[in-house]
Structure 1
Amino acid sequence: MTVPEPVSRTSPRPVRRTVFTQGWRDVTFLHWAVDPAVVAPLLPAGARPDELGGATYVGLIPFRMRRIGLLGAPGMPWVGSFAETNVRLYSVDEQGRRGVVFRSLEADRLLPVLAARWVAHLPYLWSRMRVEREGDQLTYRSDRRWPGPRGAGGTVVVRVGDPLPEPGPLARFLTSRWGLHQTTGRRLAYWPNEHPAWPLYAADLLALDDDLVAAAGLPSVAGAPDSVLFSPGVDVRFGPREH
């Protein structure tokens, strides 16, 4: 079994050609530790659960997408900006590349949802969503429209705390992800990205009413998360998919 690459706060594989750009803003990271055997059947063939201390993690990540741009062109201000929430797992492939596997990605713009599903083959879903901020408190709301199960969603409320000048091993493991794994044409593909190191903050979870994790095939994941983090965000470049 290949040893995973070291966890690095900057990309170990710089993107040489830009396929598209995104801005990720007001990002909250909620994570639950789980037995790797729970998520292994949900990963594409050729990827296995990435582990830290014998556990892997399930992430619920609400945020604001800002100005998606294609092929280096300026980002689109309206159609490319929307609220999003994803449920993701942590993966490593036979080349040792660490990444994520998306189980679902909620977004409140229909056109990007359709494009991502049909062109990029990512599990995007159309939802009513809002992100509200009052001082150091953020509220994320989602309510799935299409495809089902209709009404899946919930509310996340967090209070942002102090910056983390030196994130610990778990925070680095969860946020230092430089690509996503997915199956394309019956082969495992890796879609690399690069961005500055995440500016991370401690955060307190004030309220959580969620069924997106269960709808993503993980009904046994419940209770208070094991990690709560916040970031004001980063700008991201994606390169061409690799095998």
Structure 2
Amino acid sequence: MPRRRLAYGPPPPRRARPVQDLTPLAPHAVRRVLFRQRWRDLVFLHWPADPFEVARLLPTGTVPDLSQGRAYVGLVFFRMDDLAFGRTPPLPYLGSFGEVNVRLYSRDAAGRRGVVFRSLDCDRLLPVLTARGAFGLPYRWSRIRSEWFDSRLVYRTTRRRGGSGGARVWLEVEDEEVPAGPLEEFLTRRWGLHERFLGRTYYLPNAHPVWTFRRCSLLGWEDDLVAAAGLSRPRSEPVGVLYSPGLPVRFGTPVPLPPPRTRLG
């Protein structure tokens, strides 16, 4: 019987799967709904970001997802309503709140594109504590106000309890719907999030109807949250400004990412 030859050296790299297409609807079915919510009056601001700066802020097992060789950081304002768990009715009062998040764009070895939240500001304390304790998401308790003045929408947020920083945006919104361009599709056709919790990175899938956007004009903005999230402070006008009236969203159960291979010395 021939002797088996032992191979030494680094293990062969995992073969990466094809990168997920930027589909208008989720490429996967959310069979078991963990929680549901409705997003309203979303405002997206985006700036180019240094891919090396982004890479060091992503959870293990993910890399920056690039569009035309560029990474992006997003600052997103919206109202969340009708938060519900599983098949239960929406939570009264606690299920509706304002949110402002700083997000990056990621993909994993399975080819799934995702969002990585560097911070999520929320004006309800119980959802903040629940999301941090159950999912390890970086929620912060903040004051958030949104107001409509005819066709103009204003968001303001400031952090509570000694936290520094805040953000503000105001824009003019028209009734005309506008199609998403290639960059907007790259930034909004995201069907899950990546996060690291208790020493393990997971992917949390979601599904929702097709995005609709309306023509809008940015009237002004102020921001301290991007820099507070560990990225370079935006110095120029955002390269992308979007407004969406909103949509319902369903989240599935977390999918753990396989641990990275290590080489024995």
TM bin, normalised by shorter chain, reads: over 0.9
User: Deviation string for 1:97-146 (max 9, x for gaps)?
Assistant: 00000000000011111111111211000001101012221100001014
Aligned-pair identity in percent equals 50
Please give the alpha-carbon distance, in whole angstroms, between the structure 2 residues aligned to 1:222 and 1:213.
11
Output aligned runs, 1:222-237, within 5 Å.
222-237=235-250
Between 217-226 and 64-73, report the one with greater CA deviation: 217-226
Please give the alpha-carbon distance, in whole angstroms, between the structure 2 residues aligned to 1:236 and 1:3.
26
Unaligned 5+ residue runs, structure 1?
none
Output aligned runs, 1:24-173, within 5 Å.
24-146=39-161, 150-161=163-174, 162-164=176-178, 166-173=179-186
Cα shift at 1:202: 2.8
Matched residue, 2:22: 7
**Contact 1:66/1:77 (8 A) holds in 2:** no
Please give the alpha-carbon distance, in whole angstroms, between the structure 2 residues aligned to 1:108 and 1:11.
29
Q: Which amino acid in structure 1 is aligned with residue 182 of structure 2?
A: P
Moved over 4 A (4+): none
- Please give the secondary structure, in 2, of the residue aligned with 1:42: coil
Unaligned 5+ residue runs, structure 2?
1-15, 257-265
Please give the alpha-carbon distance, in whole angstroms, between the structure 2 residues aligned to 1:80 and 1:152.
25
Match of residue 234, structure 2, among 211, 214, 221: 221
Please give the alpha-carbon distance, in whole angstroms, between the structure 1 residues aligned to 2:231 and 2:204.
24
Cα shift at 1:16: 0.2
Matched residue, 2:196: 183
Considering only CA atoms, is the larger Rg found in Structure 1 or Structure 2? 2
**Contact 1:67/1:78 (8 A) holds in 2:** no
TM-score of the two chains, using structure 1 as the length reference? 0.95
**Contact 2:135/2:197 (8 A) holds in 1:** no
Please give the alpha-carbon distance, in whole angstroms, between the structure 1 residues aligned to 2:248 and 2:64.
27
Q: Which amino acid in structure 1 is aligned with residue 59 of structure 2?
A: P
**Contact 2:44/2:76 (8 A) holds in 1:** yes
Please give the alpha-carbon distance, in whole angstroms, between the structure 1 residues aligned to 2:84 and 2:101.
20
Please give the alpha-carbon distance, in whole angstroms, between the structure 2 residues aligned to 1:228 and 1:14.
30
User: Deviation string for 1:33-59 (max 9, x for gaps)?
Assistant: 123122110000110011110101100
Please give the alpha-carbon distance, in whole angstroms, between the structure 2 residues aligned to 1:221 and 1:38.
14
Cα shift at 1:227: 0.2
**Number of aligned positions between the proteins:** 240
Please give the alpha-carbon distance, in whole angstroms, between the structure 1 residues aligned to 2:130 and 2:94.
11
Please give the alpha-carbon distance, in whole angstroms, between the structure 1 residues aligned to 2:42 and 2:230.
23
- Please give the secondary structure, in 1, of the residue aligned with 2:19: coil
Cα shift at 1:209: 1.2
Please give the alpha-carbon distance, in whole angstroms, between the structure 2 residues aligned to 1:99 and 1:153.
25
TM-score of the two chains, using structure 2 as the length reference? 0.87
Q: Which amino acid in structure 2 is aligned with residue 21 of structure 1?
A: R
**Contact 1:20/1:71 (8 A) holds in 2:** yes
Please give the alpha-carbon distance, in whole angstroms, between the structure 2 residues aligned to 1:2 and 1:37.
23
Matched residue, 1:239: 252
Cα shift at 1:2: 4.2
